[in-house]
Amino acid sequence: MMKKYKHLAGRALAVLLVGLIVTPLYAQLPNHLRDYPLASRRTTGDVIAPMFNGWIANEDGSVTMVFAFANTNSEEIVDIPLGENNYIEPAQFDGVQPTHFPTYNRFGFTGMQERGIFAVTVPADMAGTEIVWTLAHAGHSYSIPGRATSTAYEMSSSPRAEGSLNPGVRFSQGGPEGSGREGIWASRVTASVGTPVTLSAYVQDRGERDQYGVGPFFHVGTEWIKHQGPVGAVPDFEQAQISGRQRARAAGEDGATTTNAWTEVTTQATFPEPGDYVVRLRIDNFTAPDSQFDNQCCWSNAYVPVTVTP
């Protein structure tokens, strides 16, 4: 009994000492930071955080920097126009970042983060240049540097554990191809408010899976997402997201397929307000056994600029 009492007394003393140490440290924090430790997410008015996912060394000596964001609000969807509250330095790389920041509550490692939303490539003759993205919202301003100095942040475009590669995407049969987070841009589309317009692309799974006994190819998933546009104006997509498994079931397959032929994907988009938009198309092969969103390996971006008239 005495031994148990000493154990409980020791734990109580430890808790007391921790409290004596933590309380003065907490008092030293600025008021706007005191709510963050162990606090639940606010519904509105909280931080929109720019994030750096990592860098990829390219064969020509250039480096591709991959960025993300986290909307720490649980409900507020935020738009931050390009400009003094949303900019990239050096200025020559500015303009490709999102202005639209939805909320996410995913399971696993990613949580509230939307990963790999855009990337910029620093040419070899600018080696060592930092790419800094700044976002300001609700009284908070944060800047995140993209730099190729830590191997912990180095990524690869080589085949994954069982041969998966970033899917391919292009906007016309026989046209230029893109892959990876930097992706490819379409020619500008014109539309009018309230009238559906067709957005389309051609997509293709890629992989080197022969030696692994999987595949050899998989149906890809696609999602159409507002990337940039007027504040508060969210396009309505006929079917914003279709997973690879849904496409496989429609084809009577289990996810794997024997062909990686280019497949046309389309959606009808209706825009609620006039202005200039950019719609991002994300193409994934998450049905492959070595691919998932957490891994930041196996999806590609494509971007469609849209001018909407009244």
pLDDT band, very low/low/confident/very high, at 69 (cuts 50, 70, 90): very high
Mean pLDDT of 148-157: 91
Percent of the chain with pLDDT over 70: 86
What CA–CA distance (Å, rounded) separates 251 from 76? 38
pTM of the model: 0.86
Helix locations, the chain, DSSP H: 2-28, 244-250
Residues 6+ apart with CB under 8 A from 268: 196, 197, 198, 199, 237, 238
Cβ atoms < 10 Å from Cβ of 268: 14
Query: What pLDDT does residue 35 have?
Result: 54
pLDDT tens per residue, range 153-178: 999 888 898 999 999 999 999 999 99
User: Do 175 and 294 meet the contact criterion of CB atoms below 8 Å apart?
Assistant: no
Whether 110 has a pLDDT exceeding 80, the answer reads no
Give the H or E element holding residue 226: strand 221-228
Euclidean distance between the first and the last CA atom of the chain, given in angstroms as a whole number: 81
Q: Residue 106 gets which letter from DSSP?
A: -
Residues 6+ apart with CB under 8 A from 54: 66, 153, 154, 155, 296
Query: What pLDDT does residue 298 have?
Result: 87
Task: Compute and round to an integer the Cα radius of gyration of the chain.
Answer: 23
Query: What pLDDT does residue 27 have?
Result: 53
Q: What is the token pair recorded at 158?
A: 């080589």
User: Do 54 and 28 meet the contact criterion of CB atoms below 8 Å apart?
Assistant: no
